[in-house]
Amino acid sequence: MDGPTIHAGGFAVPGLVDAHAHLALASPAPDADDDERARASARAHLDAGVLSVREPGSPNHASIRLSRSDRLPTVVTAGRFLAAPGRYFPGLAREVHDDMLVSAAMEELSHSGGWVKVIGDFFDEAGRFSTNFSTEALRETALEVQGAGGRITMHAMIPDSIQQAIEAGFDGVEHGSIVEDGQVGAMASKQITWTPTALIDDVLRESAEEMLGSDGASFLVSGLESHGESIRQAHELGVRILAGTDAGMNPHGVVAREIRLLHSFGLSPTAALAAGSWDARMYLGLPGIEIGAPADLVIFPDDPRGDLAVLDHPALILLRGEIVRSNEKGRLN
């Protein structure tokens, strides 16, 4: 079936992707029910040209219920967060011990969009970070999830949990706030995808003292100083970097800011944009600009690779071939 003809001046980019956003958290509709909170967050992404969201963990299953007929971005979710008892923010995670991690992961996989998310570390009352699960339990869980055709990623802020993700064969690392020498190379050799969510670094710095006390804050803030350099090294070594905002700690619909931050760390404008567009879409199994694919496109007045600030001003947004936002430069025939 032929689609509509679009006349639009500008530069077309495959739909933007926020590869780390929690639709249930920091929703523009905070007092609504679970489903409407997720929808409101998804609409904020859509208005920014984000046509796909990967949600690595949620306190509920509302995101999987988002219907494509709602004219909302495609959501790839990981079901509920999985954490050890008392080892994540209260009320957000499904809490399990080592011996129940596999079964919980497989159940969440059945509810999700093909992903599982494990909270690999957290801090105690004294502000000290430590790991949540044994490496053996993580390895067994990864094997089961991957054997069922799914992918598994880890919230890993400290070197100990990053090392567990590497040794257990996880598909992805989320945050990676403090990376030790050698771990970037190991992620490259293991083909582990990294979503560094660098946009939350300033949030962490500002809240570190209140959350962790002086000693814990000093550990985290000093470690964050090398985050950007680690991201640059990872990209140069061939680690796939994805643009994710950790919306929930940040507002929804701000992936352009993360793309620009990746560029500031040393990724070229093309590589930074790919991390929040065509490369992220390919990684998630979504089409780019190709014959026969649904038209998930954002058209900008100029080539954003020349100035990434252009990403804040989409002229035309097409979701599965339907115009969801346009200005005088785009019209439907």
Return the SS3 of 296. Answer: coil
Average pLDDT over residues 111-123: 94
* Residues near 196 by beta carbon (within 8 Å), at least 6 away in sequence: 175, 176, 227, 230, 231, 241, 244, 262
Give the burial class of 86: count Cβ atoms within 10 A of its Cβ; 0-12 exposed, 13-18 middle, 19 or more buried: exposed
Nearest CA to 227 among 193, 199, 254? Answer: 199
Q: Write the CATH number of the domain with boundaries 6-77+176-332.
A: 3.20.20.140
| Residues pairing with 95 in the sheet | 83
Specify whether the CB–CB gap between 263 and 272 falls below 8 A. yes
Delimit the domains of the chain by residue range.
6-77+176-332
Q: What's the one-letter identity of residue 295?
A: A
Residue with token string 């600009």: 289
Task: Report the distance separating Cα 129 and Cα 57, nearest Å.
Answer: 20
Task: Report the distance separating Cα 253 and Cα 13, nearest Å.
Answer: 17
Number of helices (H), then strands (E), in the chain: 10, 17
Q: What's the one-letter identity of residue 160?
A: D
Give residue 290's pLDDT. Answer: 78
Range with lowest mean pLDDT among 44-58, 96-110, 276-290, 313-327: 313-327
Task: State the pTM of this model.
Answer: 0.94
* Strand-pair category, 16-18 with 50-55: parallel
- pLDDT band with cut points at 50, 70 and 90 for residue 8: low
Give residue 6's pLDDT. Answer: 53
Average pLDDT, whole number, for the chain? 93
Give residue 22's pLDDT. Answer: 98
- What are the backbone angles phi and psi of residue 67, rounded to the nearest 5°? -90, 140
Give residue 70's pLDDT. Answer: 74
Range with lowest mean pLDDT among 7-21, 31-45, 77-91: 7-21
Residue with token string 């069922």: 148
pLDDT one-digit tens code per residue, 254-266: 999 999 999 999 9
Give residue 304's pLDDT. Answer: 96
